Structure 1
Amino acid sequence: MKEVSRPLASSPARKPRVLVIRAGMLGDTIWGTTPIESIRSVYGPDTEVDLIVKQGMGGLFRHDPRIGRVFEIKRRKLPLLLSPTKLKVWWRSLRQPYDLMLDLETSTHFRSLFGAARARKKVRGYSIRDQVGAQTEHAVVSLRKIIALALPRAIAERAAPSLVAPEHLDVRATFSLEGPYICVHCSNSWLAAGRTALRSWPVENWRDLLSQWHTLFPRHTPVLIGTSAEAGMIGQIAQDQPHCINLAGKTNLPQLMAVIAQSDAMISTDTGPSHMAAALGVPVVSLFGPTQPLQTGPFSDGRNAVKVLSVGLSCSPCVKTPAFDTCERNRCMESITPPMVATAVHQVLFPVPVAAAR
């Protein structure tokens, strides 16, 4: 497919309009922001970017001045004529065709919409599905390959996830957050869904880290974050830890973004909020065991600080292998110690300049 080397001509009476499709969970949705700044650099800073996202993810973007319409979809497998969301997008494209329609999915879920909607240029991730998704290739690198079908390759290869924090929310006043703090996400979506907790750090390790907090991070307050489904487990970790602020289950998505954006760092396992922090430019320490950080870790291209902690056991990573299905004890996570985590946090909080490290 021929690359676009300059902004497409458009009527002076309207802004350029682009549709981006990425309807997954939190991390997938954040990765789906990868082309936004690249699109604006090619089509112009006034480009209106519409998004199709999974139901519940719209709160990431409703305050974002770069975004036009956000279409939330509940069942992405439904064909066009049975999907109210897809019909809305189709009708919008008929009234005012898109300059670019970019489907970042590698499935066929949006095939009927893709064929019926009006756009001057259409690009589908499905067309190169066999060239992306390797376990040693980060999801963002895979997306860059799709983006390169629509935009100049030199621009696509620098594309990275980006979020805009909702600055109108005064979360410090709402949640009594005083002074510097570090966000801590002790849970993950597997736990919230009742799945095996193999990618979780043990509760006792979290409690051990928090019990030493004042010694390790005397200037920072630990702020525990999470969804209402994770609040029970996080409450156990926060029990008898009076210096903690526990916001688990107390924030909506925009508030969570604002809380993370104003933090000095994030500590987590392989979770959606870690990708949010990375996309907001907040330093991240992420603990990995059974999952592959090369593919699903918080993305960093040198413009943000990300530290992945893994002890590198011979059986790790094991997700999507028989070893994962038979594992009864996640030693790969148990072996990560609180001192290791503390050291990593200090490294992202106080990075040593390259000249000083020589």
Structure 2
Amino acid sequence: MVNSLLILTSSSTGNNIFCTPAIRFLRKHLPQARIDVVALNALSAQVFEHNPAINKLWVTSSLRRVNKLAQDYDAVLAFNKNALKKLPFNDPRLQLATIDKTDVHYAEQLLGFCQQWLSQQLQRQIEITDEDRCYAIYSAPGQVSLLSRFEVQPADTVINIHLGCGTTLLHGWKFFYARRADDKKLWSIDAYIELGQLLVQAIPGVRLVITGTSNEAFLAKKFVKAVPNSINLAGKTTVADLRQLMERSNLFISHDCGVFHVAAAAQVPMLGLFGPTNHLLTGPYPQRANRQLIKKDSMADIRPQEVLQQALLLLGRPAQA
């Protein structure tokens, strides 16, 4: 019987969100066990904050520290192989989750790995239910919404648009202006601005909320300058803030990024913009009718007008001619 379990995750916000259904699944079937989690940096660790399924959250990228921590656990599970490249952990108790299917969502494959592992440990067949198939991200108790600082009315239509991605997070404007055409996930800031202007024209009382990290603030400044009355929250949000923001939003629009998966933890309708990246592996999870994708061969093929039409449908408004 496993009484203590250490889970190794990653430095990616999105990849760590994929881990949350599996962690809750483990807690469901090991209610008395100590389940602790290692994240490789502080930003990605925010995904696990306030999570009742986790006893202790460790933030470290030190192999020496992880080796020392692991001595106190019955088992160690690694949920991300890329994390092991940065953290070449060597221990006979370690088991690496196998993510080898390109047509099954990453989160679903992690659940399947935990199902098999638990069935072996408990010596009985463990089943995955539909209730297990959802992300688990939590706001802080008593947390105040960032929108309370702005004059957002109950009748306003709030649309959250996220402009950045993992690469702009790391490298900021230098990457964006020098190599943005190389990124398969990014939609251009000019396209987002055109979309924002179309949304303002089409929806009376719309409030566009722009999010991103401080490294992506240059994108948000350009957007709000071109689309007045937008709310700029770039560099001002934690994962918990974003999770709460989704509860007030009427629609979330973004390309494939970590915040896209934060939105999937809520009930907010979602519109994802996907180029050649694999939407089956990293798209919205679980699939729902109010989670739609526009997928093209390249991000440049996606036009603001078609995004507007799909957004209007998700908001329950008639499409424009």
Report the Cα distance in structure 2 between the residues aligned to 1:188 and 1:343, rounded to whole angstroms: 24
- Show the counterpart of 1:342: 308
| Equivalent position to 1:310, from 275, 291, 295 | 295
- Counterparts of residues 287-298 of structure 1 (less than 5 Å): 287-298=273-284
Assess, with a 3 A threshold, how the Cα gap between structure 1 residues 167 and 182 changes in structure 2: closer, same or farther. farther
- Contact 1:60 1:253 (C-alpha < 8 Å) held by counterparts: yes
Query: Aligned to 2:201, what secondary structure does the other structure show?
Result: helix
Aligned to 1:207: 193
How far apart are the structure 1 equivalents of 2:239 and 2:134? 21
Indicate conservation of the 8 Å contact 1:123/1:149, yes or no.
no
Residues 218/294 of structure 1: CA separation in 2 closer, same or farther (3 Å cut): same
How is 1:206-225 mapped onto 2 (pairs within 5 angstroms)?
A: 206-225=192-211
Bigger Rg, structure 1 or 2: 1
Q: Does 1:23 align with 2:10?
A: yes
Task: Give the one of 128, 135, 141 matched to 1:155.
Answer: 128
1:131-168 Cα distance to aligned partner (Å, 9 max, x none): x3333332123213311222345227854432123342
Paired position in structure 2 for 1:125: 96
Give the length in aligned residue pairs.
Answer: 296
Query: Which residue, out of 179, 185, 200, partners 2:162?
Result: 185
Cα-to-partner distance string for 1:318-343 (whole Å, 9 max, x where unaligned)? xxxxxxxxxxxxxx222222232223
CA deviations 1:14-49 (Å, max 9, x no partner) are: xx65432212301001001121232233223x6653
SS of aligned partner of 2:103: coil
Residue 135 of structure 1 corresponds to 102
Structure 1 residues 173, 67: closer, same or farther in 2, change over 3 A?
same
Considering only aligned residues, what root-mean-square deviation do their CA atoms show, in Å?
Answer: 3.0
1:349 offset after TM fit, Å? Answer: 3.6
**Cα distance, 1:147–1:200 mapped onto 2, change above 3 Å:** same
Query: Structure 1 pair 101/150, CA: closer, same or farther in 2 (3 Å)?
Result: same
What is the rounded CA distance, in whole Å, between the counterparts of 2:149 and 2:34 in structure 1? 34
Query: d(CA) in 2 for partners of 1:64 and 1:264?
Result: 25
Q: Alpha-carbon deviation of 1:260?
A: 3.1
Pairing partner for 1:169 from 143, 162, 181 = 143
| Percent of matched pairs sharing the same residue | 22
Q: Distance in 1 between matches of 2:151 and 2:107?
A: 33
SS of the residue corresponding to residue 256 of structure 2 reads coil
Q: AA paired with 2:70?
A: W
- TM-aligned CA deviation for residue 170 of structure 1: 0.6
Q: In the TM superposition, what whole-angstrom CA distance separates every residue of 1:47-97 from its partner, at most 9, and x where no partner exists? A: 65321112112223332333211111225xx3xxxx22442x235x2xxx4
Query: 1:17 and 1:156 mapped to 2: Cα distance?
Result: 24
Instruction: Label 1:296 to 1:275 Cα distance change in 2 as closer, same or farther (>3 A).
Output: same
Q: Which moved more, 1:260-269 or 1:100-109?
A: 100-109
1:266/1:68 CA distance change after superposition, 3 Å = same
**What is the Cα deviation at residue 111 of structure 1?**
6.4
> What residue ranges of structure 1 are gaps of 5+ in the alignment?
1-7, 11-15, 116-121, 317-331, 352-358
Counterpart check, 1:102 vs 2:77 = yes
Maintained 8 Å contact 2:138/2:240: no
What CA deviation, in whole Å up to 9, does each residue of 1:232-264 have, x standing for no partner? 122112213222001111223433333234322
Structure 1 counterpart of 2:70, from 90, 93, 107: 90
Cα pair distance change 1:218/1:20, threshold 3 Å: farther
For the 8 Å contact 1:260–1:282, the answer to whether it is kept is yes
- Answering whether residue 281 of structure 2 is matched by residue 284 of structure 1, we say no
Higher helix share: 2
Q: Which residue of 1 aligns with 2:47?
A: 60
- Secondary structure of 1:19 counterpart: strand
Cα deviation per residue 1:144-199 (whole Å; 9 max; x = unaligned)?
Answer: 33112223452278544321233422124664262341210122223343243432
Q: Residues 213-238 of structure 1, C-alpha deviation per residue, up to 9 Å, x if partnerless?
A: 23333343110000011111221122
User: Match for residue 121 of structure 2?
Assistant: none
User: 1: CA distance between counterparts of 2:249 and 2:151?
Assistant: 10
- Distance of 1:142 and 1:177 partners within structure 2: 43
Residues 112 and 241 (structure 1 numbering): CA distance in 2 closer, same or farther, change over 3 Å? closer
Q: Higher RCO, 1 or 2 (CA under 8 Å, sep at least 6)? A: 2
Separation in 2, partners of 1:280, 1:140: 16
Please identify, of 283-292 and 136-145, the stretch whose mean Cα deviation from structure 2 is larger.
136-145
